[in-house]
Each structure stands twice: as structure tokens, then as C-alpha cells.
A and B are shown apart, each in its own frame.
Chain A
């Protein structure tokens, strides 16, 4: 999976879980938590999706709120 494909897959996941997201959102730098596009209760689900994209488990010691702040942060932490 290329970087562009991974970022698009993450954006698609956010849109799927937030049907009211405006067109063009989320951008790579959109603040996902502040905008409530991503909540604590959705993180485990997103992580499973990330693991499936990577085809490898995520190191649980990396699980801190900051790594989910934006698509940029998620990509940087997990891919």
C-alpha cells in the first residue's frame, strides 16, 4: 500500500463514521479530535482498521491521544 492509498483509506474511514463531514474533509491536517470526527470510543475500531491496512498489529505503547490528532499524525505513527 502506498502512502497516498493509506492516507485516502484513513480519510474514507473518517467519512464513513461521520456522514455529516463537509465535502473535502478531513484534510491531512484537520484536527480530528477537536472536530469530534474521532472519539475515544471509536479508537479501538480505527486501530483494527489501521492494523488491517498495515497487515500487522500496532505496538500498544504507541497508543497516546496525540497520535490520533490528524491524518498526518496517524500516518506518521503507524505507517
Chain B
């Protein structure tokens, strides 16, 4: 017997406890992990989950129909980046005769560096509790927004690969998703921020392919 899909109201009633309590902490952990993961599949999954949680948290600031735009945007961007990264890697692995889906675990100096910087960021956030307080933004959301901004800036400093920059820029825009609607609830602003993230996602997905094609052993086969 199939279970009926919940209505939006029923769904919101179910996720309200999560929006009030667990989502902020979970978002912190997921953001930290997406910056550390060396394999793009796991990083992208963490990115998608962050967008799901952000959508749920935004229901505290915005009407749910607007808040859940974060899901649509995160989903579309995630799909674009997945297709691009998969195209790059599937061609590379086909040429190397390895399956595309097999994760590539790397514990090299770069991963350790990312781990160290993210741990430093988490320790700093835990001990100093930096918050940019804005009128209308509850303290836990303000703390999350500040963390997202810091994590975005750290992410931008972690290398020149397109997906990592995409994560960094996206985290910065997610900060604005909290900060700006808290100041003025305006459908045009919500749409502009969503449009901004989609456009950036589109550009990054192209750059993932053109940058990644450098690593194909035989670029002429593509």
C-alpha cells in the first residue's frame, strides 16, 4: 500500500522541531565536511543536504513557498555540477579503464590542509562564537549565517578548482539568504538571490568541464 505524500502544512509541522533545534548544528557539520571531502560525490551530497537544511531553517524567516526555493536552487545547481563532474571523471576513468562511480579517497597534503583549516575554523567558532547580529535575525540563525560566511571565505581560499569555488561562493550567497530576508521580506530580493545562485551554478558547471578536461589522458578522444 503506497503512502500518500504529505501536504506542505503537514510537512512543515513535521520539520518544525528540526528547524527549531537540530538543523543549525547539523548544517555546521555538513558545511565543514563539504569543505574537507576530497571526493566530489560526497562533497556534493553534503552541499545538497546543506541546501535542504537551509530551506527548512528559512521557514522561520520567510513564507514556506519562498523558503523552499532553496531546495529548488540547491537541487538544480547540484544536478548541474553532478553532470559536469561526472562527465569529466567518466571520460578520464574510461581512458584509465576504471569505473566512474568508484570513490577516490585521497589523504594527501591538500586534504590534510583543508582538514586543518576547517578544524581551526570550527574551534574558532566554538570558542569565540562570532556573530553578526542583525535586527530580525534570531541568534542561532545569526550564528549560522556568520559561520556560512566564514566557511565560504575559507572555501574560496582552499584552491582553484571550480567546484570548490562554487561551494565557497554558494555559502556566501546562502549567508545573504539569511541576512537579507531578515531585514526586508521582499519577493524580488528572494528571487534575485536565488537567480544569483543559479547563474553562478551554471557558470561553475561549465568551468568544471573545461578545467577538468586538462586531466584527460587523451583529450582528443572526448
Do A and B interact? no
A residues neighboring B (CB under 8 Å): none
